[in-house]
Amino acid sequence: MSLLSRVSAPAAAHDLANLVAAVLSSLEGAAPRHLPGALGGQQPGRAEESAQSGARRLITGPAGLGTSAARLAVPFATGAPVHGRGPRVRHLSDGPTGLGATALRPRTARRAKGTSSVPELYCPPPVRDDPALGDEVNDQLVDWAADVGIYAGRLDSLRAADFGRLIMLTHPDSDDPDRLLAAGKCALAEWAADDHYCDDESAGAAPELLGSRLVVGYAAVDPAHLPVRYTPDLERAMRADPVLAALRSALEHLARYASWAQVARLRHEIGVLFVAFDGEASWRTAGRTPPVWEYLVARQFNSFLPCITLTDVVGGYELSSAEYAEPRVRRAVTMASTASTLVNDLYSMAKEAGDSAANFNLPQLIAAQENCSLREAVERSVEIHDELVRTFEAEAAALSLTGSPALRRYLAGVWAWLGGNREWHSGTARYNGGDTA
Ligand SMILES: CC(C)=CCC/C(C)=C(\C)COP(=O)(O)OP(=O)(O)O
């Protein structure tokens, strides 16, 4: 039984976050020692060994390549206001140096610089920026996309979008290009499903076909076991459709690193993503504009959660299913995920303007429904984003006190994911004037 299931902390409000900050300050330097020494309750799996060694690294804090994630301390929360608003994130001041040493060295959240169209956001900066590693992953991702057939005829745009950079930025606790590639393939396959099936008619999207495509699409991540006589039909379909081929290939690659519990978790998040894809298609076909609250519900599910969920797989440890499913952990992680997806809404507004996705974007919906200018709607969207990030920050700080070392590391990884995600969105050609892919 993990410590989390035996000790419960009250839900963090922002006042509590300040209290947590004080407690955490007093723990600085010795923080993990009060936590359990092994990952109690963990199911045996391929990730178990690395999970346990990950936990040990958290406690003992060794030096050397790839061990920087051990120096998590507590990246979250709080105390002095940033730019006059809300809590500040305490972070490790003197981390290690050297190759890989910056991985997951926590960073202060701040109001990340705005571009001309996106105001500053409350978000940590990226933990690592290693362009060479990003390029390596990106090159391999584009080669793989060519093999499976997604983004055919658009591979130059795909390369320029630089999804390899996204993965390098969002998973700073791994320097292993192949692990990063496995996560990158999953993300790109999910993106391809969105582009080829949902959003981009020039790439084959058709709302009336979406439901049936996604049913078979789900079978690409969670195999359908048919009677023998129909198996070849399914297999032919899987090979003929690049999105299906991509999803299946991505999951196969990931399974080299993930335990079956981690694979099951990813399947669940993809299933939920597909349900939300269907929801958006129903708005389109019915010509219906969702109220803001309904859109935000949908955005929790049509979100980057399938990417975020791989935080521990890429890091080489395992968060137990029990902790992953614990309601407060779920609340914190899904709020972070929604926030990261609102970052997408803010940065992709120009790309989506004029296409069928234009109405399904938070600022556009707020402007239409709350009778304000688009500029004001962007500001309100930023406030919503910031509220979600601050709540995640406070909750994660509280949960880190009572959870296992794996949970603590996972939440720090989610925090890092937010920073890498915003950084990528602010620079990728996909949303910054390049051709879309
Ligand atoms: C990587 C992943 C889980 C992608 C699927 C869903 C997705 C593409 C997003 C959550 C991004 O939102 P959106 O559909 O608006 O994407 P674009 O802005 O068109 O890139």
CATH number of 69's domain: 1.10.600.10
Q: Write down the pLDDT at residue 110.
A: 55
- Decide if 13 is inside a domain: no
The long-range contacts involving 34-38, CB below 8 angstroms and separated by at least 24 positions, are 35/3, 35/59, 35/403, 35/404, 35/405, 35/408, 36/2, 36/3, 36/404, 36/405
Q: Does residue 190 have its Cβ closer than 6 Å to ligand 1? A: yes
- Decide if 412 is inside a domain: yes
- Gap from CA of 344 to ligand 1 centroid (Å): 7
pTM: 0.79
Q: Write down the pLDDT at residue 355.
A: 63
Q: Does residue 348 have its Cβ closer than 6 Å to ligand 1? A: yes
CA distances from 409 to 57, 334, 401 (A): 10, 17, 12
Whole-complex ipTM:
0.96
Closest-CA residue, ligand 1 atom 18, reads 348
Closest-CA residue, ligand 1 atom 14, reads 194
Tell me the two tokens of residue 239. 């090979």
- Decide if 14 is inside a domain: no
- Range of the structural domain that residue 312 is part of: 44-93+104-427
Q: Write down the pLDDT at residue 88.
A: 27
- Gap from CA of 303 to ligand 1 centroid (Å): 7
Closest-CA residue, ligand 1 atom 1, reads 187
Q: Does residue 365 have its Cβ closer than 6 Å to ligand 1? A: no
- Decide if 285 is inside a domain: yes
Say which residue the tokens 């003197």 belong to: 94
Q: Which atom of ligand 1 is nearest to the CA of 430?
A: 20
Q: Write down the pLDDT at residue 199.
A: 84
Question: Count of domains in the chain?
Answer: 1
Closest-CA residue, ligand 1 atom 3, reads 304
Q: Does residue 341 have its Cβ closer than 6 Å to ligand 1? A: yes
Q: Does residue 306 have its Cβ closer than 6 Å to ligand 1? A: yes
- Decide if 319 is inside a domain: yes
CA distance 392 to 334: 9
Q: Which atom of ligand 1 is nearest to the CA of 304?
A: 3
Splitting the chain (437 residues) into consecutive groups of 10 residues, what average pLDDT does each group show? 37 43 38 25 33 29 31 40 27 27 46 69 97 98 98 97 98 98 98 93 88 97 98 98 98 98 98 97 93 98 98 98 98 98 94 68 96 97 98 98 97 98 97 74
- Gap from CA of 402 to ligand 1 centroid (Å): 33
- Decide if 19 is inside a domain: no
- Decide if 251 is inside a domain: yes
- Decide if 49 is inside a domain: yes
CA distance 82 to 21: 14
Q: Which atom of ligand 1 is nearest to the CA of 193?
A: 5
Residue among 191, 195, 280 to mutate when testing ligand 1 (max atoms within 8 A of CB): 191
